[in-house]
A and B are shown apart, each in its own frame.
Chain A
Amino acid sequence: MDRDPHVCVMGEDVGHYGGSYKVTKGLADKFGDLRVLDTPICENAFTGMGIGAAMTGLRPVIEGMNMGFLLLAFNQISNNCGMLHYTSGGQFTIPVVIRGPGGVGRQLGAEHSQRLESYFQSIPGIQMVACSTPYNAKGLMKAAIRSENPVILFEHVLLYNLKEKIPDEEYICNLEEAEMVRPGEHITILTYSRMRHHVMQAAKTLVNKGYDPEVIDIRSLKPFDLYTIGNSVKKTHRVLIVEECMRTGGIGASLTAAINENFHDYLDAPVMCLSSQDVPTPYAGTLEEWTVVQPAQIVTAVEQLCQ
């Protein structure tokens, strides 16, 4: 926002309140009400307004207080955000960033525990990225703001409290690139967002058991970084996808298809995909735990694949 006066933020309680997860804390004091806009509760309209403003050259960062609320703006995101560049024959660009926390939290209930990446993935014209660490959150956010394309940045409710030392100098992360978290030889584990941390937990156990997993945080959910992923598959010949999306029609489902189509010859075993259960997220803590993939299940899956 310092660098480019065209960047502004809009969303519910992003200004004076500081953001429901404190992402925009302090910005309203620094940049004022015209650049950090507290909107009324009308996702459809303010998302549309952000897109309209982007058509003129502004660069709004639109926040869904919870990703799930953006379902109310689906028409704007799909038809206007994704398609206007194409239907106008290239005349208009839509350099918006649409961001917000999603994913399963701590007993927030079904409607506040949604994963929208699977619903948005088919929209032509948008890019989707998911951050998972303070380092890549900052880098991806900067890249998303600077991109001329509309980018949906998926944050996770449970990851806001992570602490990490990050460089003082300016850096950005490549929007289309996957992140090599842990190089290995035996199996490729593809993951993103919160599940990366479950995978790394499982990796500790796996290493103790003598396995050498290669862990890749795919980060770019649309398009997939098939270059990095492909190189890994060619090396290890086994793939496990660990995601928080639902089983049906999720990111994992698309990724499995893409890997099978492109790297079938390199696979020694079918691609395995661990996803959340196809259920609304229950409130009870024990049930909620069983809807998402836990480290123990990841360990079992690796052992199975590596037999």
Chain B
Amino acid sequence: MALSRLSSRSKGISRPLSAAFSRSISTDTTPITIETSLPFTAHLCDPPSRSVESSTQELLSFFRTMALMRRMEIAADSLYKAKLIRGFCHLYDGQEAVAIGMEAAITKKDAIITAYRDHCIFLGRGGSLYEVFAELMGRQDGCSKGKGGSMHFYKKDSSFYGGHGIVGAQVPLGCGIAFAQKYSKEEAVTFAMYGDGAANQGQLFEALNISALWDLPSILVCENNHYGMGTAEWRAAKSPSYYKRGDYVPGLKVDGMDAFAVKQACKFAKEHALKNGPIILEMDTYRYHGHSMSDPGSTYRTRDEISGVRQERDPIERIKKLVLSHDLATEKELKDMEKEIRKEVDDAIAKAKDCPMPEPSELFTNVYVKGFGTECVLCSVQGPLCEF
């Protein structure tokens, strides 16, 4: 898109290109300034600058991680069709810039909670490919021991609170986490993510009211991919300006396919939330897959639309062009990186396939937390159910 608007190349990098690749996740933190492709649209606040501070290291790592996310989701598609993943599987390809940009702006003390399209957010929070595939295939080494599935990924040590199947229910949870952060004086914020479909849930407005009333550090992030399953946003929302829906709560509309715009917006939002309470971020993004693997994704939108977005706005292509134009790697090096990523994903899948299913006794663990040592057995015709 607006490549012509890219700022001047970073100065002072003069090294052979082959050496650049040998540090594929470069430790070179030479600063670069990137201009976002579009300006931010603001509601009740002053939008942040379009100039985003970054570095060569960050740019390369954006490419690598997003390519990894993309490859992971495509691989999940194949596994689902091979019936190794069952049930519901909601893929994130196309939306990677949101996950990546958000991580770049925050720390692991800041919390993220999202709905069921959570594989890439989990990865961004530090989860491993192996845990992802093992969980998707219901194996015991999955991040939820195989008991959660695609919609229930969590990572407590990185403040990733999941992973929720019921549309919108995660937003009050997220505001509760923000409340706890304020209660414990943690100087951290919570990003409560939801989609354009969930934006019409009443509980969002309830939670937003409380957040604004109690000055909670909650940031509501609407990942607007323009379709609530099969219903386009204009058929579901009288006002699809989701960043304005907060009324008295400030909002920002962001190009969600531009990882740097996302990073800038999240940085801005974090500063805002710590001082002034809640803010809404609307990420204008797009999903290439249908709503889930059961949805072809083509009955309510045209294939031209999908390929058009892929051509014009693909988040990885954008980063790739930036990497190339800044001379941080050659085409071949990036291709090699992608090959490496492919292998990494394939290896993780192979390992996950070898992982056994959970033991039958796992059916009854984690229903309750082990209590005060009372031996208490729930009985049924079939015998003891669980003890705690």
Query: At the interface, yes or no: A55 with Cβ under 8 Å from chain B?
Result: yes
Q: Are B177 and A55 in contact (CB under 8 A)?
A: yes
**How distant is B36 from chain A, measured CB to nearest CB, in Å?**
32
Bound-state CA distance A240–B327 (Å) is: 83
Query: At the interface, yes or no: B206 with Cβ under 8 Å from chain A?
Result: yes
- Across-interface contacts of A54 in B (CB, < 8 A): 176
Q: Are B165 and A79 in contact (CB under 8 A)?
A: yes
Query: At the interface, yes or no: B82 with Cβ under 8 Å from chain A?
Result: no
Number of interface residues of A (CB under 8 A): 52
Q: Are A52 and B379 in contact (CB under 8 A)?
A: no
- Across-interface contacts of A175 in B (CB, < 8 A): 371
User: Which residues A25-68 have CB closer than 8 A to chain B?
Assistant: 34, 37, 39-40, 42, 44-58
Number of A-B contacts (CB under 8 A): 161
Query: At the interface, yes or no: A201 with Cβ under 8 Å from chain B?
Result: no
Bound-state CA distance A34–B216 (Å) is: 11
Q: Are A52 and B180 in contact (CB under 8 A)?
A: yes
- Across-interface contacts of A147 in B (CB, < 8 A): 369, 371
Bound-state CA distance A85–B388 (Å) is: 14
Q: Are B379 and A258 in contact (CB under 8 A)?
A: yes
Query: At the interface, yes or no: A93 with Cβ under 8 Å from chain B?
Result: yes
Bound-state CA distance A84–B184 (Å) is: 22
Bound-state CA distance A261–B238 (Å) is: 55
Q: Are A125 and B378 in contact (CB under 8 A)?
A: no
- Across-interface contacts of A46 in B (CB, < 8 A): 172, 206, 210
Query: At the interface, yes or no: B41 with Cβ under 8 Å from chain A?
Result: no
Q: Are A40 and B206 in contact (CB under 8 A)?
A: yes
Query: At the interface, yes or no: A205 with Cβ under 8 Å from chain B?
Result: no
Dominant secondary structure at the B interface: loop
Q: Are A58 and B180 in contact (CB under 8 A)?
A: yes
Query: At the interface, yes or no: A92 with Cβ under 8 Å from chain B?
Result: yes
Q: Are A75 and B163 in contact (CB under 8 A)?
A: no
Q: Are A223 and B147 in contact (CB under 8 A)?
A: no
Known A55-B161, A86-B147, A92-B161; judge A125-B367 contact (CB<8 A): yes
Bound-state CA distance A175–B373 (Å) is: 12
Query: At the interface, yes or no: A148 with Cβ under 8 Å from chain B?
Result: yes
As a 0/1 sequence over residues 73 to 90 of chain A, the CB contacts with chain B under 8 angstroms (1 = contact) are: 001100110001111111
Give the nearest-CB partner of A90 in chain B: B366
- Across-interface contacts of B162 in A (CB, < 8 A): 84, 87-88
Query: At the interface, yes or no: A262 with Cβ under 8 Å from chain B?
Result: yes
Query: At the interface, yes or no: A176 with Cβ under 8 Å from chain B?
Result: yes
A interface residues (Cβ-Cβ under 8 A, vs B): 8, 34, 37, 39-40, 42, 44-58, 75-76, 79-80, 84-93, 124-125, 127, 147-149, 174-177, 223, 225-227, 258, 261-262
A52-B175, A91-B155, A149-B369 are known; give 17 further A-B pairs, CB within 8 A.
Answer: A34-B182, A40-B206, A49-B207, A52-B172, A52-B176, A55-B161, A55-B173, A75-B166, A76-B169, A85-B366, A87-B162, A88-B144, A88-B156, A88-B162, A90-B145, A92-B156, A149-B371
